[in-house]
Homo-oligomer: A and B are copies of this chain.
């Protein structure tokens, strides 16, 4: 029994390590996509477009690890909550990887046009989304409810920036039809970044449930975003 328990703890530690690795990878791809866009570097953007495989491989590996932990060790209570949280976080991180590709796609199109404006708010959104992602995973590993709650609070900033970007770009589009196509792509990028924040929020909510067995979802209409 001693050996089995030890083995379980080791497996659980490895699972967390792999989730962190996946989070780091997904975050890095978001960073690259946004940098490629804001610094107008098509090569960087192109790299994000084709580099989804490591994230997808980790997605399958982590799912498999969770499944084996559930099947072989039949964990109870707290350990069970950690593994179910890991299943969900894994899904969220995989979607973040997809969204990095979506950002790169829109960026690739955007870079074929003249710049609509200097990009300030979009890199800002990128930084907030990356920080939220990193903090939510730190909160998972450290079982840190306060940090998880701080992540939830950050999401409003992303929503506000997204709405601001939308209004500003709409003004450009209305004034000059030549900006429409490019402005549309920036609007899409801002929405992809907002969704990355939503995934970090999901992770933070899972952490709060995992640590406290308290369900903070669906308190105060999280469903709707302002510019849906």
A: residues with CB less than 8 A from B are: 49, 52-53, 56-57, 59-60, 63, 66-67, 70-71, 74, 76-77, 80-81, 84, 87-88, 91, 97-98, 101-103, 105-106, 170, 173-174, 177, 180-181, 184, 187-188, 192, 215, 217-218, 221, 223-225, 227-228
Contacts and interface: CB of A to CB of B under 8 A. Distances in A.
A67 B91 contact: no
Q: 5 tightest CB-CB pairs across the interface, nearest first? A: A102-B228, A105-B228, A56-B218, A74-B74, A98-B223
Contacts of A87: 84, 87-88
A79 to B, nearest CB: 10
A176 to B, nearest CB: 9
A228 to B, nearest CB: 3
Q: Is the interface of A mostly helix, strand, loop or mixed?
A: helix
Given A66-B84, A67-B80, A184-B187, 16 more contacts: A52-B223, A56-B218, A57-B218, A60-B215, A67-B81, A70-B70, A71-B76, A71-B77, A87-B87, A97-B223, A98-B224, A101-B223, A106-B228, A170-B180, A173-B180, A188-B228
A174 B170 contact: no
A105 B217 contact: no
Contact of A173 (B56, B173, B224): B173
Contacts of A91: 88, 91
Contacts of A81: 67
A88 B53 CA distance: 22
A80 B84 contact: no
A214 to B, nearest CB: 11
A218 B225 CA distance: 29
A67 B80 CA distance: 8
Of the listed residues A59, A66, A84, the one surrounded by the most CB atoms of chain B closer than 10 A to its CB is A84
A228 B77 CA distance: 40
B102 A217 contact: no
Contacts of A105: 224-225, 227-228
Contact of A102 (B76, B174, B188, B224): B224
20 contacts: A49-B224, A52-B221, A52-B223, A53-B218, A56-B217, A67-B81, A70-B80, A70-B84, A71-B77, A74-B74, A84-B87, A97-B223, A98-B223, A98-B224, A102-B224, A102-B225, A102-B228, A105-B228, A170-B181, A173-B173
